[in-house]
Amino acid sequence: MTTHQRNISASIDPVKLDRLAEVAVRVGLQLQPGQDLFLTAPVAALPLVRRIAEHAYKAGAGLVTPILSDEQVTLARYRHAPDASFDRAPTWLYDGVAKAFSANTARLAIVGDNPMLLSGEDPAKVARANKANSIAYQPALEKIAGFDINWNIIAFPGASWAKLVFPGDEEDVAVAKLADAIFAASRVDLDDPVAAWAAHNAALRSRTEWLNGQRFHALHFTGPGTDLVVGLADGHEWQGGASTAKNGVTCNANIPTEEVFTTPHARRVDGHVSSTKPLSYQGTLIDNIAVRFEEGRIVEAKASKGEAVLNKVLDTDEGSRRLGEVALVPHSSPISKSGLLFFNTLFDENAACHIALGQCYSKCFVDGTSLTPEQIAAQGGNKSLIHIDWMIGSGEIDIDGVHADGRRVPVFRKGEWA
């Protein structure tokens, strides 16, 4: 570690960083004795990786295997690699990851790199590399999307990311501010974060129980630039907070999380909708998204920034123009109240109601763990190489639940639970 890195690390509260590691292992993963752990993280997050390894082994982990990424190595490819490189991905690695998941290895991802790292690179190369990566990763992604194993995502305040969120501050100050925001959103600024997560999970569960009791046929979103009817998949089930994976482990896949979510019907979405926050995607900021759906498919898409990238994403495959998730988040959520744009979906999606293009989650069906991919598709579940969330909620959005007989029930009014 360089002197500069040590100075940056000194900006991060070590007690709260250790609590985050403990929460990731005990709440996010609920790692089981003897279970292996596969971990990915940026190099900058090594202090958190080390603490996670310590807590994982204390919890009885069999083997912790970390793989670290580096911003400069990533940029070197875009600036010096031959053109053919961008149609390739390490299939051998992802095949191994899929094999590990099949053997009940838990998955933990730490995010923290600069979300705009590739903003100055050739967007065609970025799109090609993303597509090649998505295809190679598909066998492993199916295990995640199918919720075969316990998995979790958390965040570390990388310096380049911190400067993007707090551009007017010196680097160490920006890192300290982003660290505090991450700790607050992850509930590790509290004396007993494990208990706090238990209470939060209970509150989210009460929302999902009400929604599952209603058995809505569709949700109708209305507000500025939005008049959208999202049909819900047949046999859909609302999820939120802690969920039980197919391996029997109850975990929190995202830390933080403020959402309750389910699967839309891929062929029953109609109307138009506008984004309420920018989407940071693979180094491009896509802003003021406006799309129109017909029979579940996006037939028109515009954006004031990043429109070309948006359209490349929509052309990834047949399922990329259809929805795989709809999520409800109150406008008064802690992340929304922070007033920060994190440029990171893990946080920004928890500031507003959102929809996701692409792959659905099989766990968002009644008895989803026993359904085949063909049954999920027949019930309206979408299949795709991508899963990209973008925000459509605000303090001006109303949502009605629509029953099959046309009866309407208020769900949200002015961005809050009705």
- Model pLDDT for residues 32-49, shown as the tens digit of each residue: 999 999 999 999 999 999
Q: How confident is the model at residue 7 (pLDDT cuts 50, 70, 90)?
A: low
* Res. 56: pLDDT tops 70: yes
Query: What mean pLDDT comes out for the span 197-226?
Result: 97
pLDDT of res. 10: 79
**Which of 347, 285, 277, 345 has the alpha carbon at shortest distance from 310?**
285
Q: Do 386 and 312 contact (CB within 8 A), yes or no?
A: no
* Res. 407: pLDDT tops 60: yes
Q: What is the reported pTM?
A: 0.87
Q: How confident is the model at residue 146 (pLDDT cuts 50, 70, 90)?
A: confident
Query: What mean pLDDT comes out for the span 184-191?
Result: 95
pLDDT of res. 12: 96
pLDDT of res. 6: 59
Domain ranges in the chain with CATH number 3.40.1830.10: 3-185
**Which of 295, 294, 320, 297 has the alpha carbon at shortest distance from 309?**
320
pLDDT of res. 8: 66
Q: Say if domain 3-185 classifies as CATH 3.40.718.10.
A: no
Tens digits of per-residue pLDDT, 294-332? 999 999 999 999 999 999 999 999 999 999 999 999 999
Percent above pLDDT 70 for the chain = 98
**Which of 170, 87, 71 has the alpha carbon at shortest distance from 120?**
71
Tens digits of per-residue pLDDT, 108-140? 999 999 999 998 899 889 989 988 999 999 999
Query: Residue 96 and residue 107: Cα distance in Å, rounded?
Result: 13
Q: Do 408 and 220 contact (CB within 8 A), yes or no?
A: yes
**Which of 193, 170, 174, 173 has the alpha carbon at shortest distance from 183?**
193
